[in-house]
Amino acid sequence: MTYISHPLIRPDTVESRAYQVKIAEGCLKDNTLVILPTGLGKTVIALMVAADVLSKGKKVLMLAPTKPLVEQHFETFSGWLQDVRIGTMNGNMPPEKRASVIADNDMIICTPQVVENDVENERYSLTDFGLIVFDEAHRAVGNYAYVNIAVHYHRGLTLGMTASPGYDMEKIKEVVFNLDIGRIEVRTDEDEDVSPYVHDIYMIRKEVTMPQDLLDVINLLKKMMNPYVQELIDLGLMDRNWPASTTHLLTVGSSLQKRLARGEKTSIIFRGLVSQSASMKLLHAIGLAETQGMSSVRNYMAKVEEEANQSKGSKASKEIVAMPEYKQLWEIFNRTNVEHPKISRVMSLVSSKINSGADTRVIVFSQYRETCEMLVEKLSKIENVRVAKLIGQSKGGLKQKEQVSMLEDFRSGKYNVIVSTSVGEEGLDVTSTDMVIFYEPVPSEIRTIQRRGRTGRKNMGEVYVLVAKGTRDEVFENSSKRKEEQMISNLKKLDFSLRNNFGYRHNVQTKLGEF
């Protein structure tokens, strides 16, 4: 094994890989967006670029979207770099303290909101920085802090890093424009210079058959929802040729709210708001039944009824609980003990892996926090399983320091199974995970790639995707695959246009307008 040799990088610390060296060399020539599968060393590329910039007497700013990621990068770069002063900042520091962190260190690692606020208030400038690294660069859209920071930064290099910027060409262009990107470096597991370093990840699809009681619940919910959807169509508020998806219904709701705000207080608007709200509630219940199970949909419908019973409860909830099918739902809820077949499948997979004799780690991803809690309860009863849940900090969840601590306990072996919501998908380095289980497919190619990247980093990994036959699981699975293929195609087209047709970094807005 050969190692990276640089005066600022500790000797015999970081493996030298040809594709990383080549990409880093390109990053030093122009603003670059690096798209590389999780686990193949985007951070090492940032290290090489940062070391070069630091050696020329310029500062480096590294931005990451969450505090756990900031902590992770700080530990990583502190172990890799020598003779470099590295500092971190946070919003709890007094402004004067943050200014001194900027002045006293060569490399600063922090969340972007802190820098955005300080630069807007002219507490310091970014003129001394020769490089800004935007980790999880796909976030550089809309009003996210990355965008405003890039506006205030003109003199040095920009390096954006992500495992997936998404499939939508307009959003990719937006990231490129917002970060003033001049070139894109994209690699996949199958590229010739990358494949020797890729550990096998076995994607295994496990199809489950829904029990009849759950199918009956789903059919009743669909029967309840259909009249509301038809009413929206009849009122001219919904396109009959566009399926009644969450996205479609949210679009309808947004349009109605805007019309109401403009003073259009008609019976069509008020009735449309009720029908849209009822449709959203019932569609969500269908999703819970199809992908999560009887307990989840039962608990959700109980909340709908609780809202309906309040004097100021929503009209949509009141109408739902008054429907004859609602009573039939509760007849099923009260008589059945069935749960989603995915639960037993997860328990079987985890038990088999943990008790295989090896020191293994497993991550189970679920869309819903309630399902996470239920799975933790079930898995804790399995012999040799030491399980914890990793959830976001909202609504009484884990604070970011607690998330960092839990992941460290996972790496050390205190826990060998983690059940996680989406908070565990992005960026966090869990090098020893041997198996990842998707409790359900997700329609987002970004989240699918990030979930998949939690394993196969140091050795062979297994990824199980649980799919409920005949449900939206199948739709989401196909959507994610299609979007991932489209993403790679769009990135290569965009990079070709940037490099060959329009030069590099100047006049980016003109370049994008000509695609």
The tens digit of pLDDT for each residue in 217-229 reads 999 999 999 999 9
**pLDDT mean over 452-465:** 60
Answer whether residue 87 shows pLDDT above 90.
yes
Q: Residue 48 and residue 25: Cα distance in Å, rounded?
A: 9
Domains of the chain listed by start with CATH number: 18-196+488-513 (3.40.50.300), 201-209+340-469 (3.40.50.300), 212-335 (1.20.1320.20)
Centre a 10 Å sphere on the Cβ of residue 392 and count the other Cβ atoms it contains: 17
For residue 417, the surrounding DSSP H or E stretch is strand 417-420
- Name residues whose C-beta falls within 8 Å of residue 159's C-beta, 6 or more positions apart in sequence: 27, 31, 32, 34, 45, 46, 49, 131, 132, 133, 134
Q: What is the pLDDT of residues 299-325, one digit of tens each?
A: 999 999 999 999 888 999 999 999 999
Question: Which CA distances in Å does 126 have to 6, 59, 185, 465?
Answer: 26, 9, 25, 45
- The C-alpha torsion from 338 through 339 and 343 to 344, rounded to 10°, is 0
Q: What is the pLDDT of residues 414-425, one digit of tens each?
A: 999 999 887 654
**pLDDT mean over 371-378:** 90
The whole-number pLDDT of residue 512 equals 38
Q: Residue 457 and residue 259: Cα distance in Å, rounded?
A: 51
What SS3 class is residue 140? coil
Q: What is the percentage of the chain residues whose pLDDT exceeds 90?
A: 51
For residue 371, the surrounding DSSP H or E stretch is helix 369-379
**pLDDT mean over 282-310:** 92
Q: What is the pLDDT of residues 117-167, one digit of tens each?
A: 999 998 998 998 999 999 999 999 999 999 999 999 877 899 999 877 776
Answer whether residue 243 shows pLDDT above 90.
no
**pLDDT mean over 181-201:** 72
Q: Residue 8 and residue 77: Cα distance in Å, rounded?
A: 11
pTM over 0.85: no
478 vs 346, residue with greater confidence: 346
Average confidence score pLDDT of the chain? 85
What SS3 class is residue 345? helix
Answer whether residue 455 shows pLDDT above 60.
no
Q: What is the pLDDT of residues 407-450, one digit of tens each?
A: 888 888 899 999 988 765 454 555 567 888 988 887 665 556 65
Selection from 271, 268, 232 nearest residue 250 by Cα? 232
Of 182-196, 274-288, 299-313, 410-424, the one with minimum mean pLDDT is 182-196
**pLDDT mean over 360-373:** 86
Of 92-96, 123-127, 499-503, the one with minimum mean pLDDT is 499-503
The whole-number pLDDT of residue 508 equals 42
Answer whether residue 211 shows pLDDT above 50.
yes
What helix, strand, coil percent values describe the chain, rounded to 5? 50, 15, 35
Centre a 10 Å sphere on the Cβ of residue 422 and count the other Cβ atoms it contains: 18
